[in-house]
Structure 1
Amino acid sequence: MNEYFKVSEAENFVFYKVPKALFTDNRYKDVSTDAKMLYGLLLDRMHLSVKNAWVDKYGRVYQFFTVKQAEELLHFGHEKICKLFRELEQSNLILRKRQGQGKPNIIYLKKFSQF
Protein backbone atom coordinates (compact mmCIF):
# COMPACT_ATOMS: atom_id res chain seq x y z
CA MET A 1 0.00 0.00 0.00
CA ASN A 2 1.27 3.43 -0.96
CA GLU A 3 1.46 5.88 1.96
CA TYR A 4 1.46 8.98 -0.26
CA PHE A 5 -1.47 10.81 -1.80
CA LYS A 6 -1.95 10.58 -5.54
CA VAL A 7 -3.55 13.24 -7.76
CA SER A 8 -6.79 11.25 -7.95
CA GLU A 9 -7.07 11.30 -4.13
CA ALA A 10 -6.32 14.97 -3.57
CA GLU A 11 -9.95 16.09 -3.19
CA ASN A 12 -11.27 13.10 -1.23
CA PHE A 13 -11.15 14.81 2.14
CA VAL A 14 -13.25 17.40 3.92
CA PHE A 15 -11.37 20.11 5.76
CA TYR A 16 -12.13 22.68 8.40
CA LYS A 17 -11.33 26.20 7.28
CA VAL A 18 -9.82 28.70 9.65
CA PRO A 19 -9.73 32.23 8.24
CA LYS A 20 -6.24 33.47 7.47
CA ALA A 21 -7.17 36.87 8.94
CA LEU A 22 -7.25 35.28 12.40
CA PHE A 23 -3.52 34.68 12.03
CA THR A 24 -2.49 37.79 10.11
CA ASP A 25 -4.64 40.57 11.60
CA ASN A 26 -3.04 42.13 14.69
CA ARG A 27 -6.46 42.33 16.37
CA TYR A 28 -6.39 38.56 16.77
CA LYS A 29 -2.72 38.12 17.73
CA ASP A 30 -3.64 37.36 21.35
CA VAL A 31 -6.27 34.77 20.41
CA SER A 32 -4.91 31.30 21.02
CA THR A 33 -4.57 28.82 18.18
CA ASP A 34 -7.02 26.54 20.01
CA ALA A 35 -9.64 29.31 20.09
CA LYS A 36 -9.06 29.97 16.39
CA MET A 37 -9.65 26.28 15.73
CA LEU A 38 -12.91 26.43 17.70
CA TYR A 39 -13.95 29.40 15.55
CA GLY A 40 -13.20 27.28 12.46
CA LEU A 41 -15.47 24.54 13.80
CA LEU A 42 -18.23 27.06 14.42
CA LEU A 43 -17.76 28.50 10.94
CA ASP A 44 -18.05 25.02 9.45
CA ARG A 45 -21.33 24.37 11.27
CA MET A 46 -23.01 27.51 9.97
CA HIS A 47 -24.41 25.61 6.99
CA LEU A 48 -26.35 23.40 9.43
CA SER A 49 -27.91 26.48 10.97
CA VAL A 50 -29.06 27.70 7.59
CA LYS A 51 -30.40 24.23 6.75
CA ASN A 52 -32.32 24.19 10.06
CA ALA A 53 -33.57 27.76 9.51
CA TRP A 54 -31.93 28.97 12.72
CA VAL A 55 -32.21 32.64 11.88
CA ASP A 56 -33.44 35.31 14.28
CA LYS A 57 -35.90 38.09 13.50
CA TYR A 58 -33.00 40.30 12.37
CA GLY A 59 -31.80 37.78 9.79
CA ARG A 60 -28.77 36.75 11.86
CA VAL A 61 -27.78 33.08 11.68
CA TYR A 62 -27.24 31.40 15.03
CA GLN A 63 -26.25 27.95 16.15
CA PHE A 64 -26.19 25.56 19.03
CA PHE A 65 -22.79 24.10 19.81
CA THR A 66 -22.45 22.80 23.33
CA VAL A 67 -19.34 22.65 25.44
CA LYS A 68 -19.73 18.86 25.38
CA GLN A 69 -19.69 18.80 21.57
CA ALA A 70 -16.58 20.99 21.51
CA GLU A 71 -14.92 18.72 24.09
CA GLU A 72 -15.56 15.69 21.90
CA LEU A 73 -14.21 17.30 18.72
CA LEU A 74 -11.19 19.09 20.17
CA HIS A 75 -10.36 16.53 22.89
CA PHE A 76 -10.06 19.14 25.62
CA GLY A 77 -11.61 19.19 29.07
CA HIS A 78 -14.60 21.21 30.18
CA GLU A 79 -12.62 24.09 31.70
CA LYS A 80 -10.41 24.49 28.62
CA ILE A 81 -13.41 24.60 26.26
CA CYS A 82 -15.16 27.17 28.47
CA LYS A 83 -11.98 29.26 28.38
CA LEU A 84 -11.86 29.05 24.56
CA PHE A 85 -15.48 30.18 24.24
CA ARG A 86 -14.76 33.11 26.58
CA GLU A 87 -11.69 33.97 24.52
CA LEU A 88 -13.77 34.11 21.33
CA GLU A 89 -16.34 36.31 23.07
CA GLN A 90 -13.70 38.69 24.42
CA SER A 91 -12.17 38.92 20.93
CA ASN A 92 -15.59 39.88 19.54
CA LEU A 93 -15.74 36.78 17.33
CA ILE A 94 -18.88 35.27 18.88
CA LEU A 95 -21.84 36.31 20.99
CA ARG A 96 -23.46 33.78 23.32
CA LYS A 97 -26.97 34.19 24.64
CA ARG A 98 -28.01 32.10 27.58
CA GLN A 99 -31.38 30.38 27.33
CA GLY A 100 -31.67 29.13 30.87
CA GLN A 101 -31.12 26.05 32.97
CA GLY A 102 -30.38 22.93 30.96
CA LYS A 103 -30.69 24.60 27.54
CA PRO A 104 -27.72 25.18 25.24
CA ASN A 105 -26.51 28.71 24.61
CA ILE A 106 -27.43 30.37 21.36
CA ILE A 107 -24.20 31.26 19.56
CA TYR A 108 -23.94 34.02 17.00
CA LEU A 109 -20.80 33.84 14.93
CA LYS A 110 -19.48 37.31 14.18
CA LYS A 111 -17.61 38.23 11.05
CA PHE A 112 -13.87 38.49 11.40
CA SER A 113 -12.23 41.53 9.93
CA GLN A 114 -10.56 41.09 6.57
CA PHE A 115 -9.14 44.60 6.44
Structure 2
Amino acid sequence: MDNRTYAFPYHYGEEAEQYTFYRIPKILFVSPVFGNLSCEAKLLYGLLLDRMQLSMKNRWLDAEGKVYIYFSQEQISGLMGCGVKKVRCLLKELDDRKGIGLITRVRQGLGNPDRIY
Protein backbone atom coordinates (compact mmCIF):
# COMPACT_ATOMS: atom_id res chain seq x y z
CA MET A 1 0.00 0.00 0.00
CA ASP A 2 1.36 3.39 -0.86
CA ASN A 3 1.37 6.42 1.40
CA ARG A 4 -0.61 8.71 -0.90
CA THR A 5 -3.58 10.52 0.51
CA TYR A 6 -6.79 10.66 -1.41
CA ALA A 7 -9.30 13.46 -1.53
CA PHE A 8 -12.76 11.99 -1.78
CA PRO A 9 -15.42 14.42 -2.96
CA TYR A 10 -18.43 15.49 -0.95
CA HIS A 11 -21.80 14.32 -2.18
CA TYR A 12 -24.56 16.75 -3.02
CA GLY A 13 -28.27 16.09 -3.19
CA GLU A 14 -29.14 12.73 -4.67
CA GLU A 15 -25.57 11.86 -5.73
CA ALA A 16 -25.31 9.38 -2.86
CA GLU A 17 -27.95 7.28 -4.64
CA GLN A 18 -25.38 6.30 -7.29
CA TYR A 19 -23.88 3.51 -5.18
CA THR A 20 -24.94 -0.08 -4.75
CA PHE A 21 -24.92 -1.49 -1.24
CA TYR A 22 -24.52 -4.75 0.59
CA ARG A 23 -27.42 -5.57 2.87
CA ILE A 24 -26.81 -7.08 6.28
CA PRO A 25 -29.85 -8.21 8.26
CA LYS A 26 -30.46 -5.90 11.22
CA ILE A 27 -31.28 -8.87 13.45
CA LEU A 28 -27.58 -9.82 13.43
CA PHE A 29 -26.89 -6.62 15.39
CA VAL A 30 -29.94 -6.34 17.63
CA SER A 31 -30.72 -9.91 18.71
CA PRO A 32 -28.83 -11.32 21.70
CA VAL A 33 -28.66 -14.64 19.83
CA PHE A 34 -25.99 -13.12 17.58
CA GLY A 35 -24.19 -11.17 20.31
CA ASN A 36 -21.05 -13.33 20.16
CA LEU A 37 -20.81 -13.23 16.37
CA SER A 38 -17.95 -10.99 15.23
CA CYS A 39 -18.68 -7.95 13.08
CA GLU A 40 -16.48 -9.46 10.37
CA ALA A 41 -18.62 -12.62 10.33
CA LYS A 42 -21.75 -10.46 10.09
CA LEU A 43 -20.21 -8.61 7.15
CA LEU A 44 -19.29 -11.91 5.48
CA TYR A 45 -22.87 -13.11 5.92
CA GLY A 46 -24.05 -9.98 4.09
CA LEU A 47 -21.62 -10.76 1.26
CA LEU A 48 -22.91 -14.33 1.09
CA LEU A 49 -26.51 -13.08 0.92
CA ASP A 50 -25.55 -10.72 -1.90
CA ARG A 51 -23.98 -13.63 -3.76
CA MET A 52 -27.34 -15.42 -3.67
CA GLN A 53 -28.60 -13.02 -6.35
CA LEU A 54 -26.04 -14.50 -8.75
CA SER A 55 -27.12 -18.00 -7.74
CA MET A 56 -30.76 -17.20 -8.46
CA LYS A 57 -29.81 -15.78 -11.83
CA ASN A 58 -27.86 -18.98 -12.61
CA ARG A 59 -30.69 -21.16 -11.22
CA TRP A 60 -28.35 -22.83 -8.72
CA LEU A 61 -30.96 -24.82 -6.83
CA ASP A 62 -30.58 -28.28 -5.40
CA ALA A 63 -33.09 -31.12 -5.79
CA GLU A 64 -35.14 -29.71 -2.89
CA GLY A 65 -35.23 -26.22 -4.47
CA LYS A 66 -32.80 -24.68 -1.95
CA VAL A 67 -30.54 -21.92 -3.29
CA TYR A 68 -26.81 -22.45 -2.89
CA ILE A 69 -23.77 -20.36 -3.71
CA TYR A 70 -20.19 -20.96 -4.71
CA PHE A 71 -17.77 -18.48 -3.17
CA SER A 72 -14.20 -19.67 -2.77
CA GLN A 73 -12.19 -18.78 0.30
CA GLU A 74 -9.70 -17.04 -1.98
CA GLN A 75 -12.45 -14.87 -3.51
CA ILE A 76 -13.74 -13.97 -0.05
CA SER A 77 -10.19 -13.22 1.10
CA GLY A 78 -9.64 -10.84 -1.81
CA LEU A 79 -12.95 -9.06 -1.29
CA MET A 80 -12.56 -8.68 2.47
CA GLY A 81 -8.86 -7.84 2.38
CA CYS A 82 -7.79 -10.54 4.81
CA GLY A 83 -6.00 -13.86 4.67
CA VAL A 84 -7.55 -17.21 3.80
CA LYS A 85 -6.91 -18.41 7.36
CA LYS A 86 -9.10 -15.56 8.66
CA VAL A 87 -11.80 -16.44 6.11
CA ARG A 88 -11.81 -20.03 7.37
CA CYS A 89 -12.35 -18.76 10.93
CA LEU A 90 -15.19 -16.47 9.82
CA LEU A 91 -16.90 -19.28 7.90
CA LYS A 92 -16.62 -21.50 10.99
CA GLU A 93 -18.35 -18.78 13.03
CA LEU A 94 -21.26 -18.88 10.60
CA ASP A 95 -21.54 -22.60 9.85
CA ASP A 96 -23.80 -25.21 11.39
CA ARG A 97 -21.01 -27.54 12.55
CA LYS A 98 -18.80 -25.28 14.67
CA GLY A 99 -20.63 -21.97 14.62
CA ILE A 100 -24.00 -20.34 15.00
CA GLY A 101 -25.72 -22.17 12.13
CA LEU A 102 -26.45 -19.41 9.62
CA ILE A 103 -24.85 -21.38 6.78
CA THR A 104 -24.28 -25.00 5.82
CA ARG A 105 -21.20 -25.88 3.80
CA VAL A 106 -21.09 -28.99 1.63
CA ARG A 107 -17.68 -30.10 0.43
CA GLN A 108 -17.40 -30.62 -3.33
CA GLY A 109 -13.91 -32.15 -3.36
CA LEU A 110 -11.23 -32.06 -6.07
CA GLY A 111 -10.22 -28.48 -5.21
CA ASN A 112 -13.71 -27.12 -5.90
CA PRO A 113 -15.18 -24.50 -3.57
CA ASP A 114 -17.77 -25.61 -1.02
CA ARG A 115 -21.43 -25.39 -1.86
CA ILE A 116 -22.81 -22.92 0.68
CA TYR A 117 -26.46 -22.86 1.77
- Please give the TM-score of this superposition, normalised by the length of structure 2: 0.88
Query: 2-side partners of 1:98 and 1:44: how far apart?
Result: 21
Counterpart residue number, 1:94: 103
Query: 2-side partners of 1:2 and 1:80: how far apart?
Result: 30
Counterpart residue number, 1:113: none
Deviations 1:6-46 (A, max 9, x none): 11302100111111100001110000000000000001111
The runs of 4+ residues in structure 1 deviating greater than 3 Å are none
1:78 counterpart (70, 75, 84):
84
RMSD (CA atoms):
1.4
Give the drift of 1:2. 8.7
Query: 1-side partners of 2:8 and 2:73: how far apart?
Result: 39
Give the unaligned 5+ runs of structure 2. 1-6
Secondary structure of the corresponding residue to residue 94 of structure 1 = coil
- Please give the TM-score of this superposition, normalised by the length of structure 1: 0.89
Give the unaligned 5+ runs of structure 1. 109-115
Deviations 1:34-89 (A, max 9, x none): 00000000011111000111001111000000100000000111110000000001
